[in-house]
Amino acid sequence: MKKITSVGLVFFVCLPVFAVAQAQNPPTPKQTKAASKQAQKTPASNQPEATRTLVINGQAVPGAAVQFNGRTYADIFAFAQLTGASIHVLPDRIVLTMPGAGANAATPEASVPRNPQALSRDFARAAIAHLADIREWRNAIETLVSVGAPESLQVSNWLRQHRSRAEESLRLAGIAASTPADRNALQLLQTEFSFVQQWDSAAAQSRQNLDASYSVDPDSLQNDTLLAKINNCDHFLSDMLSNGTFFDSGACR
């Protein structure tokens, strides 16, 4: 007698009662019934106490369930026939695979190894949200610089709100980082945040000094090396996150 455990159900194959030699050809209901009748011809000590019809999802196989020594056993081949499951008889075990369970039952040899540089989905989502906040912060600074806006409480509060949102989304990206690749990418996000913070501080200093050189010179923003570094880093991070794989080109260094 063998005990089979699969998908939260327990099945027993009673060898004296049900033949299991032909695993690739499960018995038909007629064959199962014939096997049950044959079992009744065995000595009294091996006879089942009662036979019952096995019904699954409205389909029935007469005599596929038996009571023996106070326990009820089901013919695993009849079960497979009614559910569409597959059975593999191995030297040391019988493997029952339910329909749709093939992906979960894949062997390690058949599974595809995970790319160690792949970014986790949660981190990539949080990082993309952070990039959006960084761009809004950068655009706000760029707008004030281009028009030569003087320093004021309103300007300071407006930029502080953008910086706070970028800080919070960066924090959430750090929480979502769960793999070495995520943490490596997080360092690049932190570097870009540092670049924008430096540019914000420099722009604030120019406003306090009433320096209008940016608004006077139409090419000043295009010639700003720190802004160019921020833009290059932003483009690189956007491509990396869209690809879903960590790599470092030095754009954010």
> Which of 97, 132, 159 finishes a domain?
97
The set of residues, in sequence order, having a beta carbon less than 8 Å from that of 40 and lying 6+ positions away, is: 47, 48
Q: What is the pLDDT of residues 133-180, one digit of tens each?
A: 999 999 999 999 888 888 899 999 999 999 999 999 999 999 999 999
Question: How is residue 170 annotated by DSSP?
Answer: H
Residue 144 shares a structural domain with residue 65: no
* Pairing mode of beta strands 86-89, 2-6: unpaired
Sorted by sequence, the CB contacts under 8 Å of residue 111 that are 6+ apart come out as: none
175 Cβ neighbours under 8 A, 6+ residues apart: 126
My answer on whether 92 and 31 are in the same domain is yes
Split at pLDDT 50, 70, 90, the class of 18 is: very low
Structure confidence at residue 240 (pLDDT): 96
Residue 128 has pLDDT above 80, yes or no: yes
The residue ranking higher by pLDDT, 223 or 90, is 223
Residue 32, token pair as written in the block: 């199962």
* Within-domain flag for 177: yes
Please check whether residues 33 and 131 belong to one and the same domain.
Answer: no
Q: What letter would DSSP give residue 174? A: H
Q: Is 250 a member of any domain?
A: no
Query: Does residue 104 lie within any of the structural domains?
Result: no
Closest by Cα among 207, 195, 190 to 143? 207
pLDDT score, position 177: 97
CB 223 within 8 A of CB 204: no
Same domain, 80 and 129: no
Same domain, 164 and 218: yes
Residue 142 and residue 151: Cα distance in Å, rounded? 14
Q: Do residue 133 and residue 225 come from a single domain?
A: yes
**Domain check: are 236 and 125 in the same one?**
yes
Confidence band of 35 (pLDDT split at 50, 70, 90): low
Domain termination residue (choose one: 97, 129, 149): 97
Comparing 115 with 185, which gets the higher pLDDT? 185
Judge whether 116 lies within some domain: no
Domain assignment present for 46? yes
Final residue belonging to a domain, choices 65, 97, 129: 97
Q: Is residue 154 part of a domain?
A: yes
For residues 82 and 157, membership in a common domain is answered with no
Same domain, 159 and 229: yes
Residues 161 and 89 in one domain: no
User: Quick check: is 150 in a domain?
Assistant: yes
β-strand partners of 251:
none
Reply yes or no on whether the pLDDT at 5 is more than 50: no
Report whether pLDDT(25) > 60: no
How far apart (Å, rounded) are the C-alpha atoms in residues 198 and 124? 25
**Domain contains 252:** no
- Whole domain around residue 40: which residue ranges? 2-97
Task: Name the domain count of the chain.
Answer: 2
**Does residue 93 share a domain with residue 180?**
no
Q: 186, 182, 192, 187: which is closest to 121 by C-alpha?
A: 182
- % of the chain exceeding 90 in pLDDT: 43
- pLDDT tens digits for 194-206? 999 999 999 999 8
Query: Which pLDDT tens digit goes with each residue over 100-123?
Result: 655 444 444 444 457 899 999 999
The answer on 77 and 163 residing in a single domain is no
Q: What is the mean pLDDT of the chain?
A: 78
